[in-house]
Structure 1
Amino acid sequence: MTRAADWIVTDLDGTLVERDGTIVEPSRAALRRFMDAGGTVVIATGRGEESALPYYRALDPGTPAILYNGARVVDLGTGDVLHRRTLGAAAWTKLADGFGDLPGGVWPVPFSGGRAHARPADVAAAPALRDYARRDGLGLRPVASWDELPPADVIKVMLICDGPELMDAAERAVTRTVSGVTLVRSEANYLEVLPEGSSKGAALRELAAARGVPLERVAAIGDNPNDLDMIRAAGLGAAVGDAAEAVRAAADVVVGTCADGGVADLVARVLP
């Protein structure tokens, strides 16, 4: 069987995974058919190891996963870290010092050592923060002070906003505080502060080059602005039908919605 792509790289939330956290079954089955036909599936997500692992096990792709929106590439089968970026001690220290200047209703969640961290008072005060942890299957490790985190080991900071209307103000607060970082919007009320140069697209380019796979032979699919660079890097960039407007505009093809099996539609295009 002739394939139009050797790799399919898929986002999780809003692309392969519904809002309730379940994998869309027609899409999962289609990816299995693609792998059975000799294709390779790669997960690319903003999630970390803890919350991506159940989906990796459900798909069983046997390939490294792009995590933290490209800041890490990890073999989730063995735990080996193949590629790693951190914010760096200077950037993290400036960010942490500036958390007090964040707008009300914006809650920081730093990731370090493969774990998400939060202040207990924030968790108690913020339903949005608790919803984020529940949705991503995260145990938020309590910290009394941000000084407890090793400054050189912080991978990224999630800023969970009580509502989308706070995103612009949160972004302005970060840019006033620190430079040399990358900001991406992974959900309508999630702003992520990543190491400079980190993106799903950058990680895809590095992983494909390491495996000798031309980008023209890669199809990638997503739904939110953090997927844009990946969609543009791939030979065939796809957006699910309910993706953000900017993502649909950048895609080569727009398929069905997440819930309707948009990933399965992409498989049908590359696996006649």
Structure 2
Amino acid sequence: MDLPAELPGELLGVRAIAFDVDGTLAGADHRVSPRSLRALAALDEAGIAPIIVTGRIVGAATEILAGAGVDGFAIASNGAVAVDTRLAEPLHTAVMTAADVEAVVAFGLAAGVEPLVFTATDMVVAEGSIAYPYLVDVHPDEVTRMVPLADLPCEGVTKAMLFGAAERLDEIDAAVRAAFPRVVRSMDNVFELGPAGADKWVALRAILRRLDVAPEHVAGLGDGENDVPWLGQVGWPVAMANARPPVKAVARLEIGHHGEDAAAAFVEALLHARARAARGAA
């Protein structure tokens, strides 16, 4: 549904807004539009910290802030990496055990879906990958490597994925969740598994402490199951119209579709309402 005519008054006092990327801030073409970049810049100018919270690798996450002309915080690989763009080194990096990565790869091959692995700096697929063109299209400025299946890395992996047709993932959904209790289905064609103890909320909570912002003063926009743990902790969880049901279940507000720049429209409406309230109080 579209934005309500009047945003809730409590929402106008948020001090930070966290944005998932794919299915949320990015459009149907997986690009963050100029309008959305302007919205991030406007938030920063208004004193509201925009925080990127994504499953993408760190370079793709910080590129969004750079495109908006903003220095600040980004969470990548579903919380395995967190950065402050003003610092040379990441705030933290977590990696999966080799045994967990090997298990995901073996499961994918047995189930007829494709295993992918991400490190902090690149994405790695096996030769003949059906995901390769998709990854290159979505991340044209990042490193996507194609290697022999036996050379898929198991060390230094920040995220392992199972990629396939939505119908096939529906068929194996229960089996995947039974084998990997931490797994989340971030999109219809993707399951994701990260390091134990590392998720978007753990990283976001640490960033909010650095900003000295309480979670109740934060809004968050998301669409996938990997967004549920952190959306459930912030004061204003916001679901996209295209969000999976668990996201809508925790949301206090639902906005439009990511393919229609709904995240940017939300920011514009919020800043307009804040300005109008400030004029009324003057």
TM-score category of the 2 structures, normalised to the smaller one: 0.7 to 0.9
Aligned positions of 1:119-134 closer than 5 A: 119-120=126-127, 122-123=128-129, 126=130, 128-134=131-137
Aligned letter for 2:125?
A: A
| Between 29-38 and 75-84, the greater mean CA deviation after superposition | 75-84
Aligned in 2, Cα 1:158/1:81: closer, same or farther, shift over 3 Å?
A: same
Question: What is the rounded CA distance, in whole Å, between the counterparts of 1:94 and 1:87 in structure 2?
Answer: 11
Question: Does residue 143 of the first structure (1) align with residue 147 of the second (2)?
Answer: yes
1:110 to 117, 124, 144: 117
Q: Once structures 1 and 2 are overlaid, which stretch shifts more, 250-259 or 72-81?
A: 72-81
Distance 1:164-1:204 versus aligned 2 partners, 3 A rule = farther
- TM-aligned CA distance change 1:173 to 1:261, over 3 Å: closer
Distance 1:51 1:149, change over 3 A: same
> How do residues 82-231 of structure 1 correspond to structure 2 at under 5 angstroms?
82-101=91-110, 103-104=111-112, 106-120=113-127, 122-123=128-129, 126=130, 128-137=131-140, 138-146=142-150, 149=153, 151=155, 153-169=156-172, 172-173=175-176, 175-176=178-179, 182-231=182-231
Separation in 2, partners of 1:263, 1:69: 19
Change (3 A) 1:19 1:77: farther
Structure 1 residue 6, shift from structure 2 partner: 0.8
Residues 44-83 of structure 1 aligned to structure 2 (within 5 Å): 44-76=53-85, 78-83=87-92
Q: Which residue of 2 aligns with 1:256?
A: 256
User: Which one-letter code corresponds to 1:202 in the other structure?
Assistant: V
The answer on whether the counterparts of 1:107 and 1:129 sit within 8 Å (CA) in structure 2 is no
Contact 1:215 1:233 in 2 (8 A): yes
1:20 equivalent in alignment to 2:29 = yes
Name which of structure 1's ranges 91-100 and 234-243 shifts more when overlaid on structure 2.
91-100
| Pair 1:249–1:100, CA change in 2 (3 A) | closer
Q: Which residue of 2 aligns with 1:29?
A: 38
- Cα deviations across residues 214-271 of structure 1 (Å, max 9, x unaligned)? 1011111112222112211111111122322332232111122223332234333366
2:121 & 2:178 partners in 1: Cα distance?
A: 25
Question: Cα–Cα, structure 1 residues 170 and 116, in superposed 2: closer, same or farther, change >3 Å?
Answer: farther
C-alpha distance in 2, partners of 1:231/1:221? 8
Q: Is the 8 A contact 1:40 1:61 kept in 2?
A: no
Q: Structure 1: give runs of 5+ residues left out of the alignment.
A: none
Greater Cα shift, 76-85 or 196-205: 76-85
Q: Deviations over 1:161-205 (max 9, x none)?
A: 1334324516625743xx5x6211121101111112332222211
Counterpart in the other structure of 1:42: 51
Q: Percent identity?
A: 27
Which stretch shows the higher mean deviation, 75-84 or 108-117?
75-84
